[in-house]
Every structure is written in C-alpha cells, then in structure tokens.
Chain A
C-alpha cells in the first residue's frame, strides 16, 4: 500500500487563518505550490492572498464551507492537488474526510482513517491503551448501572472521584465527588445533565486528579514503522478547557520522566498503527505520575515550541512522511536545546470577561527581533470575521533558557499593538510577570489564582499630551485654508499624512 510516492507538486490546504499561512510557508520552502480554499467572508483573508491558487467553497458558516468535504475535494480535483493538509480543527480529525481523500486519490497529510477511528472513540482508545500497558486514570471503561455499583467502584478507585459523561466533553455531565455521602445525588445530576446535553445518560467513574498538570508528548511516525518522540509541551495554562500558553520543555519534566513519557507515547502511537505527526496528552498528578488522556491525530496549534527546541520543522516532516519518506534521524538524534513559550493571541477582551472582539484591525504592529516568532493570520485593515475561532496569531518566544524566553516575550508584548479590536495581550503581561509562573508552579486551574498586575499609570502626562496633540492636529487640518485640491487630499489620505507634510515643509 505504501509504495514510494513521488514528491508532491501541489498541496491544498483545507483550513484558514494562521495555520493555513504556516502550511503555505512550508510548501514554498519545499518548492510545492500551495492551494487555498475560502468561504465567502474570507475572500480577503491572508491565506487567500498568499496562495498560488484559491477556490471559493461556500458561505461563511463552517458547516457549508471549511467542513464541506465534497466542496473541498472538488477544489482539490479542479486544482490538480496531489495532497491535502487539513491543519488543525475543522476536518483535521474527521476519519470520513481522510477516507474520502483516499477514495478520491488525494493523499491526506495525516494518519490513516483506521487509526483516527480508534483514537476518536473514548472507550476503544481506553481499551487499546490497557492492552499497550499505557497508564490510564484508574476507573471504569463502561457506564455505571446503579448507585450501588457506583459506590463499590468509587470505594475501589478511592476518593475524590470524577463522574464523566461517556458521550461527553466540554465539562458537561461532569461531577467531582469528595465523599461517599455525596455520590448518589452527584450521579443523578451528572446523568440527567448528560442526557440533556448529549442525549445519552451513560456516566463512568474515574479517580479525580486534583489540579493536574496537562503535559503532552509530540511524536512523528513514518510509514515504514519508525516512531520517534520529540519531547513534551507543558499546556497547563488553560481557560475554559482552552489552552492559552504552552511551553517546551516543561519546567516539571526531567530527563528520566521525559524518556518514560516519550516511550509511552510511542507505544500509544504504535498500538493504533499511527503515522505522521501526532500528540499524546497526559494528565500529571502532584507526584509526577502521568496518565494517558487522549491522542490528537493532527498537528497541534502549539507545535512551534517543539520546532524551536528540537530544530525540526514539523510541517516539513508531515509532508515528507506523506510523500513516503523515511525519518532520517533516530531517537538519540533528538536533542532539546533552549526553551520556547507560545502565547495564543485571541480576539477577546481580557479586561471584560474575555468577550469575543471581532471587527476591523485599524492598527497593527507585530513584534520582531531575536528569539521572537509570530505566526499570524491577520493584517492591518482586515476585518476579523465573527464566524470562526478567535485566534489571531501565535507569539512564540525562544531563548537559551526559560528566563530568557520569558524576557524576550515580555519585550515582544511591549512592541505588540493591535488597535480597533480587543485582544488578550494584557493577560500575557500578567502571566509573564507572575512569580508563580516564573517559578514554573503550574496546573490547570492556574489562571483562577492569577493576580492582575495593577495598571502602570506612570505615563499619564505623555498620554494626556498625546491625546491633545491628536485633537489639535484634527482641528488644524479641518480648519486650514487651502486649495480645493489640498482639502480633497486631506480627506483622501489621513490627517496625519497631510500634517506631516506641512511639518516637513516648515
């Protein structure tokens, strides 16, 4: 089945935003022509502007465009693309899409539909992990049938326990139970919530891990039986189960723990015949025990931190593996160097309960300089649409150690400016200055305890002067007597331009 394929000439990217840009860049570096697809509201999006070809695939709603398998495969056919890169989100973990690509004779850059199916089902994944001797959170794989059964199981795994909806996700149908007396009512509540949310009341029991860390392991597997791990990423800083900041390596993980987690991750991947890039997520408790949580069968948002500390380009390797190449290095060649931290810059107002803030980007200044990488999907003058994920860009800081990476990010955030829409940039200023973060003392409820840095009001005077200067300039350019042409010019360009010109003439 995996006969040696030739090199791809053209890759269609079934995604949008910064990740589409990321893949376009890899294509260019490898001499491959990138093909974009876009919805009606994304005509002027950066990924469309930067691609060689672009195909409209439908209306704004993702279900009618970026999730529409037929329209995407039609674009692939029309463009003559050899392969499809799914990015993350949208169709990236959809086994039907991977199968449809195979049926259409287009290479899906990712694992086979079979391994996606196995990893997609919670119970199937749990059973496969047990067979592969992978540590999982103690508990049941099947739904509990009665409160009596629940009492027996809970006593066996030990309190506190977590009740979880079998069909669930996103915190629905979940209950934390500290003591036997609370079990019965919590079970009833979880079951009825699960029924309402998912149409299925099945609830299972796991040992509760209080304030765990969330640490994941990157793997690469070629189609010739080689699977390697590329080190971990610490992703404990989350808000509403959404990652906010990630770093590599984890401040917690030492050489020995890395090797054990890495070898476990390789076993997980091999148990499902996994190929291409993948990530195994673990929960880690206070005693540094790690438990398999789930596998993400795609490129992760936070892949750049691994790229920076390993020196490997993960998107290049995804493409090379899909082309049938063999991994050209061994486990001992994977050496971590330095430290990288990623901040996810979202269009949401961190000063106002993280309200989404789509709209026109009136002014944009992205940072640059040593150890700063910005993977951005936006530009000044572009309107961020309301229909999609609020991720604008990823700001990644790299340094020879963690302290330098933090210092570079703090400097970069000072340079960063997004005007016209609100962002969560100030959240990162708070995190990067927080003693707990600097000490590496992290867990998934870290953000709940984060203190807001009091606003620095030392620049009130220059701010007041600048505010008045802006007004003075506007008044002057609107009242200045000039020829009809000058007035027209002032209207067409900005006041600042015409004023600057006046200044220059003086």
Chain B
C-alpha cells in the first residue's frame, strides 16, 4: 500500500516536471555574450551586413549580442581611432582599412584582420561627365583633389598614377579640404576621390552625371573595410572570433541576397540615412561585396601583398613589416571548409 502510494507520488512529480519542461521556453538560451564592434565611420550601407546579422538573429545564433560603436569623429571633433579603441579593449572587434592595419602593424600594434567586406576597392576618381575624364591619363593638366597620402585613397591615387607611369607634376593636385561634393559641382576641382557606391549615387540623385575611374580596374586593390581584432583575442578566444566572423559572413550573404531589406534595416540604425540613396548605394555595392568568382568575406594573399608593396614603395611602410601577420585566413577557411 505504501509502496503504491509512493510510486504514484513519484509519477506525479515526474509528470509535473515534464509539464513544466514543456511550458518553459525550450532550451533557454545561455546568456548571450556581448561583443562590441568599433565601426570606422557612422552608420552607412557599408555596414549593412552587421545590421542584417543583428536583426536576423545571426549573432544570437552564435550566442553573441553585438553592440556597434560608431566611428568618425567624437564629440570634441577629434577623429575616432578605431584601432586604438580595439587595442585598448573598448571594443572587441573593429572595422578599418587594410592600409591602417598594415600601418598599425608597422608600429608594433598587435591587430589582425580576420575578414573583409568589400572584395574590391571601392575607391574611384570621379569627374563631371562633360569633362570627359575617363581614364587616369586624362587627369593630366586637371585640378585633382588629393587625399592624405597616408590614407587609403591617397595611397591608391599615388599607386595608380605610378603604376600607369603618369607624371604627377603635370597634374594640379589640390590637398583635400572639403569632403562634400561641392568642390566638384562648383568646378573648383575636376577630379576627386570617392567610393564607387557613395558619391556617384548622391550626385546621380541630384541629376549630376559623373564619370568614374575605378582604382581596382588598374590593379589598385586593397580592403576598404576589414574586420579585425587583437592578437590576444585570437589567442585566447578563437571560438568567439570564429562565431563572430561566422555570423558576420552570414550577414553579408543575407544582405546581398536581399539588398532592399538590407537598406531598410540599415536606415533603422541612423536618423541621417535616406532609404532611397542607401538602397541605390547597396545596389552599387553588390559587386564589391561579391564580385564574380569570389566568396563573401574572403581575403587573398595577392591583395594584401599588393597593398603592402604599394605602401612600401610609397615609403609608408618599412620593409620589416611582415604582411602575413597582419591578417589571418584561418577563420575564413574554417567557415568555407578549406
């Protein structure tokens, strides 16, 4: 009698436990690990893979909760140093250019690129269409806005000119002091640098037709937006790096699969963005994210070497910098299974 009653009680307890198990959220997700991502600029379609991954729960799928820290300028107007912020631990991951990575490495800063958004350099040199400037050779005798020689655009400009053997002394180079499109539309300069998916779109919306000279067409390739972290992070938390990169690569895939949706999501991250222009910008960015014959997020030794060599040639990098330590393909290879 006692035995039987005892068994019934046990049965009841088991049943209640089962019921509780059913009603409770199935396999309650372990606490998501927060990761901070230092962007190189304010929100723009360029970062749409992050936003799409965030909104589609791709980070959560990897047990991560991403928090994005805008780049650009701080409240006091000082430029935000994305590399310094990551190295200082204010962020776990960052976005920057391959040139800045190499520059930091040359100074002994232990940052490593783990993946790239754009597979081709978006750097272009634009001019009003009626000026008929269609190739770098046409820059001769024109007013050209030139960027900081240490920045990626400046490097690309110098590299392109030197690669084509163009005598820069015949070009009226004007140091860039205005980042708006006004100098071009006002005729102050004939040529200025731009991102292929940015200024041409803005100008096109204003009805201004421009010609573009794409740096990558002349073999000037670098990674305009690499995902990087610190050597410490890679050494101590390779799993987190892997998970973060996997979510991000899936984010790139998702963004280019549905560019319109990606634009809509991105606009939600900033009041300054306009859906129409972000959408067009995304359309232009599609071949940058995934040009024919490439895999999203991927980096190649050729591009890194080229960038490095270019910088050495231009005296921006000492020959002692080991380019192989500036990036790693281990996480990308893990994702693509090769």
Is chain B a partner of chain A in the same complex? no
Interface of B toward A, CB cutoff 8 Å: none
